[in-house]
Structures are given as C-alpha cells and as structure tokens.
Structure 1
Amino acid sequence: MRKGIQMVLIIMMVLLAAACSNNGESGSDEASQSSSDAAGDSAATEEAGGEAAGSSSADNTGSGGEQEGAATDTKTSDRMVIYNGTLSLEVENYDESRSAIETQVENMGGYIVESSVESGEGNERTGSLSVRIPQEQFSSFMTAAEEAGTTVLNRSTKGEDVTEQYVDLESRLRSKETQEERLTAFMEEAGNTDALLQISEDLSAVQEEIEQLKGEMNYLENHANYATVDITLHERGAASLQSGGDLNTWEKSQQLFTKTLNGIVSAASGIAVFLIGLSSVLVPLLLLAAGIAFYYRKRRKHEE
C-alpha cells in the first residue's frame, strides 16, 4: 500500500517537474522572441530614421543646389550696367535730320537732355544733341539714328557695370538705417538735455548720410535704366556757283592795284629816307672811292 502511494507521488512529481520544465522553456522562448522582436523593431526604426535623414539630406542638398543655381541666374540677369553712346553724322539738311532724330527719341520713350547749334562758313550748321533712351532701346536707337545722316563719321558705345557699387550702397544704407533706429530709441530714453542734444546731432548726421546714399542709388538706377547718347550733326550743303555780284571782281582789282602802288611808294620812300639819312657818311665814302679808282686808272696807263 505504501509502495503504491509512493509510486503515485513519484509519478505526480515527475509530471509536475515536466510541466514546470515545459513552462520554463515556453517562457524562455517567449522572452527570447520578445527580445528579438524588440531588436528588430529598433533596427527597423533606426533604418527608417536613417532613410529619412538621408532623404532629408538629399532634399536639402538638391534644394540648396537649386537655390544656388537660381541665385547665380539672378545675379547674372540682375547686373546693373550703364550704357553710353557717341554718334557723329554728316547730313545734307540739318533741320530734317534733327527732326528725324527727335521723332525717334519720342517714339522710343526717351527725352532730350541738351541741344545746341552753331553756323559755320557757307551757312553750314553743326549741332549736338544729348538724349536719354530706355536701356532696352539703346541698340535699336543707335542703328535708327544712323539713318538720319548720309555718312557716319564716328560711332562708339561703352558699358559700365556698377552692380558691386550699387550693392555696397545698399549695404551701407541698411547699416545707417539701423543706426538711425537705435539713435531714435536712445533719444526717447534720454534723461538729460546734454545727452538729448548729442543724440540729436548724431541722428542728423546719420540722416544726412542716408539721404546721400539714396541719392547715389537713384543716380545709378536712373542711368542704368536710361542710356545716354551724344549725337553730333555736321551739315554739308551742295556747292553752288556764285553770282557776279558776289564775286566783286572790279572792286577786288581796284584794291589790288591800290595796294601795289602803295607798296611801291612805301619802298621808294624808305630808300630815299635811307640815303638822305646816311648822306653825311655816304658822300665822303663815294668821293674816297672815286679818288682811289682815278689813281689806279692813271697809274695803270703810266705803266703801259
């Protein structure tokens, strides 16, 4: 009986041990599986983060390249250039040529800054025009203006890039405007009259510099938007046969005859004055020369 009970207890203990062993293995497997899953999830997360970072870096790089390229294109297209042209023309009729150029200036949206005209020999005139033309019309105007003359005596164009100068002015202007804001704030907080006067003087000086910078920038903008062209017109009229009244043949002949007689009389008068003035010296010299000549002649005859 006791042996039966012992056998039952042994069997139950064996079964219980087997059950505990199975539970332990199952728990270990589940823990291992859980750890593996967690590691996999962490790796996946890191991989996803890496892909996101790489994608973000690539996007940023691409965006930066595009922005750099856009900035380069903008800098190239936004260059500020001042154009100047000079044109010298020979024309047959000054009035017609000038009128044609003025019409071209008006049609192209430009304006005349200065003009002058003067007459030369034969009533031929020479005039000059200084005009301002929109920059985009500069080349077209130079070509069209040449058609107003018969001959192009001189043509030249010049461009001056003032982009860096303009950018420097912008930078200086922003700095001065910031300084102006600070001085204005200091003025509102000034506690005594001396400090207020000092800040007021500094503010006035800064504001004056700001106005000068704006003036220089406006000058560059205006000359970059409108090119300057200096034009000179030389009138060359056709030669014409002069009339008999314009020639004055008889009067010119009389003047020449009178001048010739006056010249002869002046020369004779000069010689007479010379001889009379030196007569006190010339007469003794002439007598001495005559005596010497007579002596040698008489001597030569005696020797013969």
Structure 2
Amino acid sequence: MKKFIFAVIILLSLFSCSSKGGSEQNGNFLSTTSSISAPQARMKESTSSDYASDSSEKTAERKLIVSVDIRVNSKDVEKSYKSIEEKLKEYNGYFDNVESSKNRYHLTIRIPKENLYAFIDFIEQNEKVENKNINTQDVTETYYDTENRIKNREVLLEKLRNYLREARNIDEILKVEDRINTLTYEIETMKGNLKNLQSSVDYSRVTLNILNPEAIKSSTNIYNKYLNLISFLKAFFSGILFFLVGFTAAAIPIVLILALFYYICFGKIGLIKKLYNKIK
C-alpha cells in the first residue's frame, strides 16, 4: 500500500512539473478527497501557459462567428424565396428555420463561411435590401482555451486509469473511479461545446426577412376597415338596446299610472261609471 501511494505521488509530481515548469507537489493523492482534486488545480494553472504556446502557433486560424440580419422588400415574396432557395443550394447552405405567411417569409439560414459574402452580394443584386446588419464575434481565445482544457483533462484521465489498475484498496478504487467519472463528464461536455462552437464558426447564420410592404399595407387597411365596421355595428346595436331599455324604464311608471287610473275610474271601483249613472 505504501509503495502504491508513493508511486502515485511521484507520478503526480512529474505531471505537475511538466505543466508548470518544475513546481513541487505536496500531499497524499488518495488519503483525502482534497488530494484527489489536486491534479485538477494544477491542470487549471497550467492551462494559460499551454494556451499561450498553442495559440501563438495558430494565430493565422482565427475563430470568428458571423451573424447577418437582412430585410428585403419584394413585390413577389414567393419568387424571391424560390430564387434564394436555389442559390442557397448552390452555395451548400440550408434553411435552419422557415416561417411564412401570405406576404412574408422569415428565414433562418446556415451557410458556409467561405460563401457568406457571395450569398449576400447575390441578395443585394437581385432584391431590394431595406436593411442589413453584420455582426462578427471573435471566439478564438475561447476555442483554443477549451481545446487545451480537453487535452489536459485527457492526460490526467489516462494517469488516473493507470492508478486504478494498480489500486488494491476499495476506498482508493472508489475515490479514483469517482474522479474518473467527473473528468469523463467534463471532457464530453467540453467536446460538445467545442463542436457547437466550430459549427457556428464554419456555418454563418443569416436571418432573412422577405416582405411585401404594399400587400401588407393593403391587408392592414382591409383589416382596419373590418374592425371599424365591427365597431360601428357594436355601437349601433348597443345604442338600440340602450334606447329600448331606457324607453321601457320610462314607460313602466306611465303604464302603471294609466292602469291604476282605469281601474279607479272604469274598473271595479268605477267612480266615473257610478257618477254617470247617478246623473243619468
């Protein structure tokens, strides 16, 4: 057991020296949880120096994410859409999302970065561009930093697997396996992020809106007229209803008074009738 622990300490010390230029490591790797996490701390410290050397070798390969927003006015949105669809196939691009209505298209396009500006030129030459916005995001540092973090973790992961083969104690095995699982998850997550980042670099995103403003304006006017008609009819029938309610409320007392007058004068009481009979 002591020989195994001593071998682990020596290996981790050598790993630390290679990434930090000769710094010493203290502590027992497998004695406590904190000692297991020590290689990760050294790995993080070595990342910046590793990145500095690697990025200097790759300065010509900058990682840029380009996003473009374009608004196009067209008298025939279907024709414009078909034209753009054909050109997009020619440039090896594709539609990431398509939303359409009678007089408009909202398109999300992914196109290889080397064909982006040729595609924009095609749109400007064949369509009436109302608005255009190009945004460039430099992710070079993030990309190579992530790449180097993956490499460092893979080196550490291989060392931990070697330690696991030599482990004899159950407690040691469980601790190393837990650290291996954590590192494996981190590596897979970083690789996924790196893949998405590379995809965003390789394929620029173009958000394209194709509109027929005249048709939209006409449709809006018709819709507004329809709303005005509905409002007028509502007001008209509301006025009639209000009049009937008001008339009924005012007529009820009059009707009651007339009914009472008839009852007293000509009904069962018949005062006028009795008076007439006396006079007669």
TM range (shorter): 0.5 to 0.7
Contact 1:82 1:161 in 2 (8 A): yes
Change beyond 3 A, Cα 1:167–1:238: closer
1:193 aligns with 2:176: no
1:78 aligns with 2:61: yes
Aligned to 1:91: 74
Secondary structure of the corresponding residue to residue 92 of structure 1: coil
Secondary structure of the corresponding residue to residue 79 of structure 1: coil
Q: Which whole-Å deviations, capped at 9, do the CAs of 1:218-270 have from their partners, x for residues lacking one? A: 1111111110001111134679xxxxxxxxxxxx9xx98xx869846843751
1:204 aligns with 2:181: yes
Contact 1:84 1:228 in 2 (8 A): yes
Contact 1:83 1:158 in 2 (8 A): yes
Secondary structure of the corresponding residue to residue 204 of structure 1: helix
The 2-side partners of 1:112 and 1:261 are apart by: 51
The 2-side partners of 1:261 and 1:141 are apart by: 57
The 1-side partners of 2:111 and 2:253 are apart by: 78
Match of 1:224 among 196, 201, 210: 201
The 2-side partners of 1:262 and 1:159 are apart by: 58
The 2-side partners of 1:102 and 1:265 are apart by: 57
Aligned to 1:107: 90
The 2-side partners of 1:109 and 1:209 are apart by: 34
Taking structure 1 as the reference length, the TM-score comes to 0.54
Change beyond 3 A, Cα 1:137–1:267: same
Contact 1:104 1:145 in 2 (8 A): no
Secondary structure of the corresponding residue to residue 168 of structure 2: coil
Aligned to 1:169: 146
Q: Percent identity?
A: 26
Secondary structure of the corresponding residue to residue 84 of structure 1: strand
The 1-side partners of 2:55 and 2:194 are apart by: 23
Aligned to 2:109: 131
Contact 1:93 1:237 in 2 (8 A): no
Change beyond 3 A, Cα 1:164–1:278: farther
Instruction: Compare 180-189 and 138-147 and name the one that shifted more.
Output: 138-147
1:273 aligns with 2:256: no
Secondary structure of the corresponding residue to residue 249 of structure 2: helix
Secondary structure of the corresponding residue to residue 246 of structure 2: helix
The 2-side partners of 1:132 and 1:111 are apart by: 6
The 2-side partners of 1:187 and 1:262 are apart by: 85
Change beyond 3 A, Cα 1:76–1:177: closer
Letter in 2 for 1:173: I
Give the C-alpha shift of residue 146 in structure 1.
Answer: 3.1
Secondary structure of the corresponding residue to residue 230 of structure 1: strand
Change beyond 3 A, Cα 1:174–1:97: same
The 1-side partners of 2:168 and 2:129 are apart by: 72
Q: Who wins on radius of gyration, i.e. which is larger?
A: 1
Q: Give the number of equivalent residue pairs.
A: 189
Secondary structure of the corresponding residue to residue 77 of structure 1: coil
The 2-side partners of 1:226 and 1:168 are apart by: 21
Q: Which protein is richer in helix relative to its size?
A: 1
Contact 1:176 1:210 in 2 (8 A): yes
The 1-side partners of 2:180 and 2:56 are apart by: 39
Change beyond 3 A, Cα 1:260–1:134: closer
Letter in 2 for 1:78: E
**Structure 2 segments unaligned to the other structure (5+ residues):** 1-53, 217-228, 257-280
